[in-house]
Amino acid sequence: MSNNPYETFIRQLENGAKVLGIGRDVVEVLKEPERVLEVSIPVKMDDGSVKVFKGWRSEHSTALGPAKGGIRYHWNVTKDEVIALSAWMSMKNALMNLPYGGGKGGIRVNPKELSDAELERLSRGFIDKIYKYLGPDQDVPAPDVYTNPKIMAWMLDEYEKLVGRKAPGVITGKPIIVGGSLGRNHATALGGFFVLREAVKVKEGKNLEGMTAAIQGFGNAGSHMAKFLAEAKVKVVAVSDSKGGIYDPNGLPIDEVKKVKSETGSVVNFDKAEKISNEELLILDVDILVPAALENVITEKNARDVKAKYIVELANGPITPEADDILNEKGIFDLPDILANAGGVTVSYFEWVQNRMGYYWDEEEVDAKLDKKMTKAFKEVYEAMEKYKVPPREAAYVVALRRLVEALKSRAVV
């Protein structure tokens, strides 16, 4: 089994192409990114020494519009990972019917080891190396793993200095004061919540009230998802972070858990619940399982033990292709990442639109527009599941590929 994310993408692409009967030429075009930039970024450290960091930006496809996707800072980032993530963004943006292609960036760095000043120099240095290839109509980055609105503001500022004009639409996920969108902070979780609500509606003809849930990962997406589920009267019985998890069969008081996490750095310090491991959380007897942290957490080793009826992939690639097959056999309704966590990029799109027209919406309007987009995308995926008799992930690829193929054919690329 390969854990190379790029090979996983190609396998998913070929599965979707097979269902649609798409020719080899299209698959060959979509297998390769249009452009990959690899740069070295020298950074003067606080002690006066210079360290060189490696960074990448991949533009997978621009058939549907400018490349769009986040920039991650992580000590394990590889070129293959950045390419795969940019390809998944092509699929996600096509699935959501956004006027974007797919892009992704990454710098190999442990941001926890850098001071704020060093992080700023690194962020500006990356933009210095790639700015000629960025722009509101060319390639639009956003935050990702270990990057945030503050880093986006530095990058925006550097870009505007270099091009000599204001360009708020070049980067999304910015602080509100420099053109960010209201609702962006909770968009990934809220989008996942909307598609889960629709899935339960079509499968069981009811709302979420009275169901149970476990959430792996209590960062931005996971903690917001816990809040939305609790508000919908779902009993959130377990949550976890990198240090471990907590479990209470009667349901956790989410606000209290959030407080403990922000004050102590981990949910494990919440002392009114039983301690469990991340591995145990994944196989709890719950209705809803939300992997909201890392990739490849459900594998062929533990997939048979998963008891949830619904999986909401708020993380990118939390399920390996081998595990996918097992979960499908078990009849688990898995809402795939390119659908379930597309709320983030959808509100990034809303941010870009607001930047371009210079008119900003209130949070209720953003949330309502997100609901409409996510519900429509879910319905299209469900229709493809029914029509082609395929599981949700393949159905999502079918919807995305139909749009990409049409764009490639319109441009006479294939």
Cross-strand pairs, 108: 74
Q: Among candidates 231, 221, 149, 147, which has minimal Cα distance to 190?
A: 221
Check if the beta carbon of residue 30 is closer than 8 Å to that of residue 399: no
352-to-130, 142, 215, 388 alpha-carbon distances in Å: 20, 11, 30, 35
CA–CA–CA angle 26, 31, 32 (5° rounding): 110
In what helix (H) or strand (E) does residue 334 lie, and over which residues does it extend? Answer: strand 333-335
Tell me the Cα Rg of the chain.
21
Q: Count CB atoms within 10 A of the CB of residue 197.
A: 17
Q: Among candidates 75, 107, 69, 74, which has minimal Cα distance to 88?
A: 69
Query: Encoding tokens for residue 72?
Result: 């991650």
Catalytically active residues are 104
Question: What is the C-alpha to C-alpha distance for residues 84 and 6, in angstroms, rounded to an integer?
Answer: 4
Backbone φ and ψ of 160, nearest 5°: -65, -35
